[in-house]
Amino acid sequence: MVHDLLPLQRSAWFRDGLQQRFHQHLLALSERAERIFVPSVVVRDRLLAAPGLPQIQVHVLRHGADFCPPALAPGALPDELQAFASNSQGPLFFVLGTLEPRKNHALVLDAFDRLWAAGHPARLLFAGHRGWEVDALLARIDSHPLLGKQLLQAGNLDDAALMWLFGNAAALIYISRDEGFGLPVAEAAMLGCPVICADIPVLHEAGGAWPRYVEPDASRLFEILLDPPRRGQANQPRRTWDQVAEQLVQHLHFEAASATSNLPES
């Protein structure tokens, strides 16, 4: 499984040295694997067009979106989030993912700063660990006058707490610059959580007709936040990990059958 080629194609978004290591790994993998799976057509096309790789079979195997077992109920929030989440003065929006350049957190914060300057009571939660190459963003968050009131960053949320967010937040915001798939978009959609996400091809594959798509622009995001999508809409994508496993088994059975048919007769 090759999830994406971003460390190779967008090296400025990642830590130094990752591009070379990623290229070496990808080359070794493509020389040994009989077939490669990717989670989206976007990644398939990029992989087939990548220079210097041997020809190989590439199949799209999209991710499942059932976030947790049905028995898992939304859990109690960590103490640092309890007061923030219980504040009923305004809708709660959240961004899910590590704070790193690709995820465009600074653009989202630009839109909310404009919203707050207009007196809007919306709250913004960055749900994710602090990553790399975002020192300016972290300094901006840590010194923000609304930190702890209408803005919060938390990196220790477990699955039950995320379930609570998917069930109670006004929307997931996902304005990523690029992805291999965009799993949070699919997970939120399957759980009925409204989604506002970047209008890029790969997120259309993940979310289908469910999200409200927006150009990666703070002004456009600001406009959508004034009239966000509502719960209860139709067109939820429903693809489970069991279905993904069944699709994988079909590929493996086909491969085994092909190999058997090519054996010499005794």
The structural domains of the chain, with segments of one domain joined by +, span 6-65+240-261, 79-226
Is residue 224 within 8 Å of residue 199, measured between CB atoms? no
Question: What pLDDT band is residue 261 in, cutting at 50, 70 and 90?
Answer: low
pLDDT of 88: 66
Distance from C-alpha of 264 to C-alpha of 261, rounded to nearest angstrom: 8
pLDDT of residue 71: 55
Q: Is the dihedral of CA 124, 78, 181, 4 positive or negative?
A: positive
pTM of structure: 0.89
> Which long-range CB contacts under 8 A does 47-52 form with residues at least 24 apart?
47/2, 47/5, 50/5, 50/8, 50/26, 52/27
Query: What's the mean pLDDT in 15-20?
Result: 90
Average pLDDT of the segment spanning 47-73: 83
CATH superfamily of 79-226: Glycogen Phosphorylase B; (3.40.50.2000)
The pLDDT tens digits for 214-250 are 999 999 999 999 999 988 766 677 889 999 999 999 9
